Amino acid sequence: MDSITPEHRSWNMSRIRGKDTKIEVEVRKYLFAKGFRFRKNDKRFPGKPDVVLPKYKTVIFVNGCFWHMHEGCKQGRLPKSNLDYWREKLEKNVSNDKLHEQQLTEMGWNTITLWECELKRDFEGTMTSLINTLQQNGQSKGDQP
C-alpha cells in the first residue's frame, strides 16, 4: 500500500512560494523614513501595487526577477526543467504586468517598477533615483490642464 498523499506534497510547495517579500518591506521602510506616506497592496488598483502614493499619483511594483521574467537578468531566465509549465505561468505574469501598467496609465497614474536584483545590488542608489522620479511626478501633476 502506498501512503504518500499528493496533497501533502503540494502543501510543501505552497509553503516555499510567496516567501521573498522582505525586499518590499525594506522599500516601504525607506520611503516611510523619508517622509513618504502611502498605502500598500491596494486591491482597488490593477495588479495590487506594493506601494500606492496618492500625493504623487504613482504606484510602485517591487518585482521578483524570476516571477516577472526581468529582461536581460540572470534571475529572469526560464528554468530548464518543466519548461512548458514555467513558460506558460511566467509569460502570463508578464502579460498581466503590461496590462496592469496600461490600465494604470489610463487611470492617470504613473507606474514605477523596482527589480529585486537592482535593489540587492544598490539599494541606496535605486531608492535615490526612485525618490527623484517621485518628486518629478509630484510636480508634473500640477501642470495638468
Give how far Cα 30 sits from Cα of 46, 54, 75, 86, Å: 24, 17, 24, 33
Segment lying near Zn ion (by CB under 5 A), choices 23-31, 56-64, 117-125, 126-134 = 117-125
- Decide whether 53 or 117 has the Cβ nearer to Zn ion: 117
The H helix count followed by the E strand count for the chain is 5, 3
Segment lying near Zn ion (by CB under 5 A), choices 15-23, 35-43, 44-52, 65-73 = 65-73
Shortest separation between residue 25's beta carbon and Zn ion, angstroms: 19
Nearest to 118 by CA among 52, 58, 73, 77: 73
Binding characters for Zn ion, 21-60, by CB under 5 A (x = yes): ----------------------------------------
Report the distance separating Cα 5 and Cα 113, nearest Å.
40
